[in-house]
């Protein structure tokens, strides 16, 4: 016999799954806008808006579930963490749109080097996929891979910024610095997603690393 809370949990899971698909598409389109020199800002803005709409719907649903069912233990951790995960998805969408605006604002950037951006963007997209899979399967083993990838992204970000300070090409340096920052923040939120999954499964919060900023802070 099913429980009264089960239909709401199923609805919540479906909403988060849809948000994950939209966030993945949004970030991929944004990276394509810069590296592939395609104008995708309108499309990314539309998807980002839909993700934000779902974020508010998730907030309303979780609030209703808390009041109506007063979930305990495992269900409580799932409901509580769903708010954090939906917020991470909303940030993926927002940063993706910011990435498209870099190309719109800077114009022709075909002469800029993109090797570091190609590497970091592949890692970040892999982190997003792993974070989504970790949540859907409640697999905390993925967190180890996600944390290693985040360390690599963070190291690449700081190393590349130092290199950009020494270049005379101000336009390319500024454009790349912005993109690196947005990708680094997306990576941070993917890591926070994995931490939320760890809380769902174990009931324990991970202690953040010294370089790890709060999920809503430090954004440009």
Tell me if 103 sits within 8 A of 37, measured CB to CB: yes
Residue 145 φ then ψ, to 5°: -65, -40
Give the start-to-end residue ranges of the domains of the chain: 7-202
Token pair 């440009």 is at which residue?
A: 220
The full DSSP string for 78-92 is HHHHHHHHHHHHHHH
Burial class (CB in 10 A: 0-12, 13-18, 19+), 172: middle
Burial class (CB in 10 A: 0-12, 13-18, 19+), 120: buried
pLDDT in tens, the chain (220 residues): 679 999 999 999 999 999 999 999 999 999 998 988 788 899 999 999 999 999 999 999 999 999 999 898 899 999 999 999 999 999 999 999 999 999 888 888 888 989 999 999 999 999 999 999 999 999 998 888 899 999 999 999 999 999 999 999 999 999 999 999 999 999 999 999 999 999 999 998 876 655 555 555 544 4
Q: Which CATH superfamily is domain 7-202 in?
A: Phosphate transport system protein phou homolog 2; domain 2 (1.20.58.220)
- How far is residue 171 from each of residues 40, 107, 219, 220, measured CA to CA in Å? 21, 10, 21, 18
């Amino acid at each position: 016999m099913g429980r009264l809370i089960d239909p709401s949990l199923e609805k919540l899971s479906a909403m988060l799954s849809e948000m994950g698909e939209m966030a993945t598409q949004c970030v991929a389109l944004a990276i394509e806008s810069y590296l592939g020199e395609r104008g995708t800002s309108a499309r990314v803005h539309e998807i980002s808006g839909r993700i934000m709409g779902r974020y508010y719907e998730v907030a309303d649903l979780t609030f209703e579930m808390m009041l109506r069912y007063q979930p305990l233990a495992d269900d409580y951790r799932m409901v509580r963490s769903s708010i954090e995960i939906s917020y991470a998805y909303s940030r993926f969408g927002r940063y993706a749109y910011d990435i498209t605006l870099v190309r719109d604002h800077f114009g022709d950037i075909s002469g800029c080097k993109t090797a570091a951006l190609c590497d970091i963007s592949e890692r970040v997209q892999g982190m997003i996929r792993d974070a989504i899979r970790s949540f859907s399967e409640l697999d905390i083993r993925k967190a180890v891979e996600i944390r290693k990838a985040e360390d690599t992204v963070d190291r690449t970000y700081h190393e590349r910024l130092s290199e950009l300070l020494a270049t005379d090409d101000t336009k390319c340096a500024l454009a790349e610095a912005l993109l690196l920052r947005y990708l680094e923040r997306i990576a941070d939120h993917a890591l926070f997603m994995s931490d939320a999954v760890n809380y769902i499964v174990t009931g324990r919060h991970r202690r953040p690393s010294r370089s790890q900023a709060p999920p809503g802070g430090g954004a440009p």
